[in-house]
Chain A
Amino acid sequence: DVQLVESGGGLVQPGGSLRLSCAASGFPFNRYWMHWVRQDPGKGLVWVSRINGDGISTNYADAVKGRFTISRDNAKNTLYLQMNSLRVEDTAVYYCARDLVGLRSTSCFDPWGQGTLVTVSS
């Protein structure tokens, strides 16, 4: 079965840093684009970033550009999100999601991990 398991969330002060991880299993990880999507508590979904299979191509939402960095370690089947200069408004549940189809980006998310909560507060 395809499985995505996020970790690394927690409480951090404004201006701080956090690195999220997403451990993938059950599929050829290096063939798939991967995404991070976040959800403010009780609110809607916001796409954060994506990365292609070999880690060369990345895209970011404007709200996180220059502060967040997406990366992957295909040897470890793990996706990362390095979050720096965190703001209160970055508080959210962060989900990793696989692209629907391998080798090209459909930018359609399936499946999703269970999410990890990031709280930015003093």
Chain B
Amino acid sequence: DIQMTQSPSSLSASVGDRVTITCRSSQSISNYLNWYQQKAGKAPKLLIYAASSLQSGVPSRFSGSGSGTDFTLTISSLQPEDFASYYCQQSYSTPLTFGGGTKVEIK
């Protein structure tokens, strides 16, 4: 199974900050990497697919990069509605696996 490791597991940031979350896979997954946002009590929402493609309707302050084993989700200017948990997920092979999550909290 491909293991996905996210860091940090949590972070505190202020509105307007630039936030970066990293995800590392235990083997190369090319660009088969997706990012999701989950707010408390809600279902996850797709933000980025294929490592860097922005899902329709997602604000352009979200961006993704990387390939192989190292990936990054960046929020260029954190907004109040961005405080949530974020998960990476590999879609390279089954079993499909997620990172442990990063909780973004208000500083």
A interface residues, Cβ below 8 angstroms from B: 35, 44-47, 50, 59, 61-62, 95, 100, 106-115
Question: Looking across the interface, which residue of chain A has its beta carbon closest to that of B87?
Answer: A45
Q: A35–B96 Cα gap in the complex (Å)?
A: 10
Asked whether, in the complex, the Cβ of B98 is within 8 Å of the Cβ of A110, the reply is no
| Residues of chain B in range 64-107 having any CB-CB distance to chain A below 8 Å | 87, 89, 91, 94-101
Asked whether, in the complex, the Cβ of A112 is within 8 Å of the Cβ of B98, the reply is no
- CB contact under 8 A between A46 and B98, given known A100-B49, A108-B34: yes
A100-B49, A107-B32, A111-B46 provided; 19 other pairs, C-beta below 8 A? A44-B87, A45-B36, A45-B89, A46-B98, A47-B96, A47-B97, A50-B94, A59-B94, A59-B95, A61-B95, A100-B46, A106-B49, A106-B91, A108-B49, A109-B89, A110-B46, A111-B45, A112-B43, A114-B42
Is B44 part of the contact surface with A, judged by Cβ < 8 Å?
yes
Q: A66–B99 Cα gap in the complex (Å)?
A: 25
Q: A13–B68 Cα gap in the complex (Å)?
A: 43
Question: Looking across the interface, which residue of chain A has its beta carbon closest to that of B33?
Answer: A108
Question: Contacts of B94 on A, CB cut-off 8 Å?
Answer: 47, 50, 59, 107
Asked whether, in the complex, the Cβ of B43 is within 8 Å of the Cβ of A114, the reply is yes
- In the A-B complex, the 4 residue pairs with the smallest Cβ-Cβ separation, listed nearest first, are A107-B91, A112-B43, A110-B46, A47-B96
Asked whether, in the complex, the Cβ of A47 is within 8 Å of the Cβ of B98, the reply is yes
- CB contact under 8 A between A108 and B97, given known A44-B87, A45-B87, A45-B89: no
Question: Contacts of A62 on B, CB cut-off 8 Å?
Answer: 95
Other-chain contact of B100, A44, A95, A110, A115 (Cβ < 8 Å): A44
Q: A95–B87 Cα gap in the complex (Å)?
A: 15
- CB contact under 8 A between A44 and B101, given known A106-B49, A106-B91, A108-B49: yes
